[in-house]
Amino acid sequence: MAPKVYVDGQSGTAGLRLMDYLKARDDLEILRIDEDQRRDARERARLINASDVTFLCLPDDASREAVAMLDNPNTTIIDASTAFRTNNDWAYGLPELTRGQREAIRGSRRIANPGCHASAFILLVRPLVEAGLLPASTPLSAFSLTGYSGGGKQMIADYESSSDPRLQSPRMYALGSMHKHLPEMTQHGHLEAAPVFTPVVGNFLKGLTVTVPLHLGQMARGVTPESVVSALKMHYRDEPFIRVMAFDDDATNLDQGFFDVQGCNDTNRADLFVFGNGERLTLMARLDNLGKGAAGAAVQCMNIALGLEESMGLTSGVDA
C-alpha cells in the first residue's frame, strides 16, 4: 500500500514546490483538501491523522496549532517553519549534518526542516568545528544572496509585476541582526554565539549562496586552505547531494570570473567552495532555496523516514 502524504499549506511557495515533487511520484498517495476547506480545522485534522507523513508549510504559530491536532502516533510530521528547529524533541532535517543524523531522522516522528540560509551556513561551518579547525567560540559573520522566491508569494508578485526601480538592485534586510534562522545556525553549527548575518535579496527567482569570510588567524594553528577543503571532503565523502569543489580552480568554480549563484537551481544539490590564500578565506555554499533549501530537503527527509531510497524523486544534478 502506498504511503499517504498530506501537505498542510500547499498553496504557499514552499507548499506548491513540494506538491510539484510529490505529484511526479507514483509510489505515494497524496491526500488533498478541497479549496473551500483549507481553513477548516476539523478537515485538516482528519487529513493529518489519516496520513503517514504530513508536511506543514505554515507560519510558526499555525504549525504549532497543526501539531496539536495530531493524535495518530504513526503519523510523521515534517515541519517547514522555524517553530521546532532548535527543539531537541525534534530531529533536525539535514541528513548530512553529522554522523548519526540519518538515524535520528529515521527514528523520529517529528522532523524540523532546515531554513535555506541556515542549511548553507551549517554545511560550511559544522564540519570545520567538528574537525577542530574552527573553534566554536569564533565570532563569525556571513551574508546570503538569494532569489526573491524566498520571500513568498507577495514578494514574487512584487518583483514580477512591479516597475519599482528599487527592485532592480540587491536589497539587504534583517539589519537588526535578529534573522529567524540565527538560532538554528548557532545550535546546529555548534557555535557558542550567533554569527553576524546579513541576507540580501536579488532580482532573480531562485538560487542562494551563503558566504562566510575568515582570517586564517581565526582558525586552529596550521590550518591551510587545502586542509579546509580536505575536512569538507572527508565530512561529505559519501553524500550524494553535496559537492566540495576544488580549491583555487577558477575554471571550474567561476563563469568568466564571476560566481553563479543559480548554479544549483532545479537540483537537491549543495556545492561548497573555498576561495582565498594563505591569509584569508572565503567559504561559500550554493543551493536552490526552493530545492535543498526547502522542498527538496523535505522530500529527502520523507524518503528517509519512510525507509525509501533517499534520492527518490530528487536530482543531484551532478552533471549540470
Kindly state the DSSP code that residue 291 receives in the 8-state scheme: I
Give the Cα separation of 52 and 83 in Å (integer): 21
Q: Is the Cβ–Cβ distance between 21 and 45 less than 8 Å?
A: no
Q: Is 311 exposed, middle or buried (0-12, 13-18, 19+ CB in 10 A)?
A: middle
CA distances from 95 to 209, 242, 259, 299, 316 (A): 20, 11, 27, 12, 15
CA distances from 114 to 71, 171, 249 (A): 25, 23, 30
C-alpha cell at 192: 557558542
Task: Report the catalytic residues.
Answer: 116
Q: Is the Cβ–Cβ distance between 104 and 68 less than 8 Å?
A: no
